[in-house]
Amino acid sequence: MWGASRGWVAGPTLLGLLLALSVRSGGASKASAGLVTCGSVLKLLNTHHKVRLHSHDIKYGSGSGQQSVTGVEESDDANSYWRIRGGSEGGCPRGLPVRCGQAVRLTHVLTGKNLHTHHFPSPLSNNQEVSAFGEDGEGDDLDLWTVRCSGQHWEREASVRFQHVGTSVFLSVTGEQYGNPIRGQHEVHGMPSANAHNTWKAMEGIFIKPGADLSTGHDEL
């Protein structure tokens, strides 16, 4: 039912930063909380079901057969890091705050595949399948998600939604859980309407400051 595939390994600088992040204790103070910026690496929490957006080198055994995307309860899993990037034509310069209404790509750090959806049914709920697609961060137009939030920019303390540009569904979790080989992980899928199941919040991460390089300028949560 499920298949494994080889993933790519992120650059040593990025992996080193993620390792440093994983072993540091404590969190940032409220005073250091700000905006989510382009180029930042972060985890996303579904605020209703309390699971983090996750992927891994396990393919769906039905539907598209692409790399699966799930929700996990653990907060310390490195497979839950995603990088905020612009579309294929740019539009998201590193360090600039992400605007409400802006289209972005979410690239899975450890496999290099982009958050993706298309007209396949999801395995458990029969909603729209969400997968991870592409190679080394390059996929297609179905990798684009619009950040839906109030105000001008995506705030790290605020709940947001991600609406798919190509099919208009919202990135969602409704509680269905898989069996082996990913027992206990939650199905992530697309739903046609905005509701409590598709609100997300930025959690642990490395947030790039304006004009900064990933190796030098960042705030950690």
CATH of the domain at 85: 2.80.10.50
- 13-62 pLDDT, tens digit per residue, is 555 555 444 433 333 333 234 999 999 999 999 999 999 999 999 999 99
d(CA 145, CA 127): 17
> Residue 118 falls within a domain, yes or no?
yes
Considering the entire predicted model, what is its pTM? 0.84
Q: Residue 84: which of 15, 37, 132, 19 has the closest Cα?
A: 37
157, 207 Cβ separation under 8 angstroms: no
117 domain-assigned:
yes
Tens of pLDDT, residues 62-87: 999 999 999 999 999 999 999 999 98
Query: Per the domain annotation, does 162 fall within a domain?
Result: yes
- The reply to whether 12 falls in a domain is no
In a domain, 55, yes or no: yes
Q: Structural domain of residue 124, as residue ranges? A: 37-206
pLDDT category, 211, cuts 50, 70, 90? low
Question: Does any domain span residue 50?
Answer: yes
The total of structural domains in the chain comes to 1
